[in-house]
Amino acid sequence: MSQHMPPAHPFDDDKLKEECGVFGVVGVTDAANFVALGLHALQHRGQEAGGIVTHDPETGFQSVRRFGYVRDNFTDPATMAMLPGSIGIGHVRYSTAGNKGQTAIRDVQPFFGEFAMGGAAIAHNGNITNANALRRELIDRGSIFQSSSDSECIIHLMARSLQKSIPDRMEDALRRVEGAFSVVAMTRTKLIGVRDPLGVRPLVLGQLGDGWALASETCALDIIGADFVREIDPGEMVVISEKGVESLRPFRPRRSRFCIFEHVYFSRPDSILGGRSVYETREAIGKELAREAPVEADLVCPVPDSGTPAAIGYSQQSGIPYGMGIIRNQYMGRTFIEPTEQIRNMGVRLKLNVNRALIKGKRVVLVDDSVVRGTTSRKIKEMILDAGAREVHFRIASPPTAWPCFYGVDTPQREKLLAATMSEEEMRSHLQVDSLRFITLDGLYRAVGEANGRNPAEPQYCDACFSGEYPVEPADMIEQGFRMKSAAE
C-alpha cells in the first residue's frame, strides 16, 4: 500500500531484519519530542510503522500511530501538539508476529488499555513464543483482541490480574509469557522497562537532567543528549518515576543469552554494547576474519553499508588497500518500472553502482556482514566481474545463517536460507566466486570479546540462527510445524 515506505537499505530483502525499537522518557518537558528523536535514531530497527503514547494530567493518554518513517510522521507541530505531557513511550516496528503483509494500523504499538486502576501503554521489542496459546485462553475467558499482535496478550493479562498497581499487574502478566522481550511501558506517572530473563534483546538506561530515558540502543540516548547510565539487566524490571529508578527482579534468575547478531548487523555502529562500540566490534570481526581466512588480493571492498567496518578491519589486518569499489545510491526507494529487456540486473543498479575504474583488473576481496538467501551476493559478484575484476573473494563477517530466528527477527523460512541446504564449498560453487569464507562461530565469539571462544556447554550468547540451539522453545512455531534441530544434526 502506498503509505508503506520503501526499504532504506540496499538488499533489505536479503538480510535478517530486526523487527522493533523501543524508547521511553519521563520527567522532561514535551516528552513526545524526545520520543520522536529517540525513535528516529532507532529507525534502522523498524521502518514500517511507528507510534507514540504520552500522558498529560489534563488530556489523559494520547496516542498517534502511523505507517511510515518517524521523520515523516512525528515532525509537524500539529501532530506533536496532540501528544502533550512529560512522560511518553514509542515504538518503531518492522512487522513482528502479526500477519505479515497485512499489517493494519491497529497492529502498530504501543498498545493501550484502561484498567480499573487507570490506564497503561506498552511496547516491546522481541517475540512472545507462546502467544497463540495465551490468546486462545484469553478469548475463551471473554477478552476481545483488537490486533493480531503478540504484544496485546500482555495488556489483556494485565487487565485480568488481581493486583492493584500497574507494575504489579505487569509482573503478573510477564510471568505468563515466554520468549524474548524488551518492554517499555508507562502509567500516568511511571516509566517501566523490562528485559526477559535471558536478555536476548537490548535495553539501556539514560539520564537527561532530572529526566530518564529507556532505549533499545545507546545511539538513541546520544541524539537527545542523554548520558548512558547502564544496560538494564536480563530479568530486571525498572520502575522509574520522578523519585528515581527502582529495580525489581520479577523472574527466576537464568544465565543470560544476548543476541550475538546485534553485534553483527542489527545495532547501529555508533551504539555501545558491552562497553565497546559496535563499530569496533565489527572492525575486530574483520581482523579475525583476515586471520582465519587470508587471501592474496589487490583491494578490500565492503558491500555497503553494513560490510564497511569489517572491511576496514580486514584491510588493516591484511595490509591489502581498502577502497569503495561499490557506490551506493543515496536516493533509493520505490520500485521503478522495468524498461525492456535491454536492461539486466536493474534492481541492483538502482541501489548500487560499481566503481569500474577502481575495480578493473584487480583481485577483489568483498566483505559482507552475512549471507541469508544469497541472491544479492550473486548479483554483486556479477557486477564486479562485469566491471573487469580479475578475481572475486567473498569474506563474510558472520557464520553461515542456517536457522530462522523466532525472537523478534524477520527471517525467511528455513528452506530459503542458503546455508540450511549447502555446505560452504557448495555455496562458493553456487555463487561462482574464487573463494568464499565465513568467520567461524568461535572466531565471532572471540571478536565480541570472549577470549576463549564459545562455551558449547553453556553458550554465552543466543546464536540460534547459526547453531540451531534455541534457548527458549518456540512453542507457537513448533505447533505450526517447525522442526527443531535433532540430536543427530
Where in 139-168 is the site for a copy of itself (CB under 8 A)?
139-140, 142-146, 155-156, 159-160
Q: Does residue number 432 form part of the binding site for a copy of itself (CB under 8 A)?
A: no
Contact set for a copy of itself, span 14-33 (CB under 8 A): 28-30, 33
Tell me, yes or no, if 20 is annotated catalytic.
yes
Number of CB atoms found within 10 A of residue 212's CB:
25
The reply to whether 316 sits near a copy of itself by the rule CB under 8 A is yes
Of the residues 261, 279, 445, 470, which one makes contact with a copy of itself according to CB under 8 A: 279
Measured from the CB atom, the residue of 113 and 399 that comes closer to a copy of itself is 113
> Does 488 engage in binding with a copy of itself (CB under 8 A)?
no
Residue 317 in the binding site for a copy of itself (CB under 8 A): no
Which of 86/96 has CB closer to a copy of itself?
A: 86
Instruction: Show the cell assigned to 433.
Output: 566466486
Binding mask 79-108 vs a copy of itself (x if CB under 8 A, - otherwise)?
Answer: -x-------------------------x--
Q: CB of 104: closest distance to a copy of itself in angstroms?
A: 9
Least CB distance to a copy of itself at residue 253 (A): 29
Q: Which of residues 38-57 bind a copy of itself (CB under 8 A)?
A: 40-41, 43-44, 47
**CB of 87 within 8 A of CB of 54?**
yes
CA distance 22 to 43: 10
Compare residues 345 and 423 and give the one whose CB is closer to a copy of itself: 345
**Closest distance to a copy of itself from the beta carbon of 355 (Å):** 5
Instruction: Show binding-site residues for Mg(2+).
Output: 306, 368-369
Residue 338 or 415: which CB sits closer to a copy of itself? Answer: 338
Which of 339, 481, 486, 487 is close enough to bind a copy of itself by CB under 8 A? 339
**Of residues 137 and 450, the one with the C-beta less far from a copy of itself:** 137
**Does 330 sit near a copy of itself (CB under 8 A)?**
yes
Taking CB under 8 A as the criterion, which residues in 207-246 touch a copy of itself?
A: 208-209, 211, 219, 222-225
Q: To the nearest whole angstrom, how small is the minimum distance from the Cβ of residue 433 to a copy of itself?
A: 22
Mind spelling out the 3-state secondary structure of 147-215?
CCCCCHHHHHHHHHCCCCCHHHHHHHHHCCCCEEEEEEEECCCCEEEEECCCCCCCCEEEEECCEEEEE
Q: Please state whether the peptide bond connecting residue 305 to the residue before it is cis, i.e. omega within 30 degrees of 0.
A: yes
- Identify residues 354-373 at the interface with a copy of itself (CB under 8 A): 354-358
What is the smallest separation between the CB atom of 279 and a copy of itself, expressed in angstroms?
5
Within positions 282 to 311, which residues make up the interface with a copy of itself, using CB under 8 A? 283, 305, 308-309
* Burial annotation 225-263 (CB, 10 A radius, 16+ → b, else e): ebebeebbbbbbbbbbbeeebeebebbeeeebbbbbbbb
Of 263-271, 395-403, 469-477, 481-489, the segment contacting a copy of itself by CB under 8 A is: 263-271
Does 274 participate in binding a copy of itself (rule CB under 8 A)?
Answer: no
Residue 322 contacts a copy of itself per CB under 8 A: yes
Q: Does 347 bind a copy of itself (CB under 8 A)?
A: no
Q: Residues comprising the binding site? A: 259, 306, 368-369, 405, 462, 465
- The rounded distance, in Å, linking the Cα atoms of 262 and 247 is 25
Number of other residues whose CB lies within 10 A of the CB of residue 344: 11
Show the cell assigned to 450.
570472549
State the catalytic residues.
20
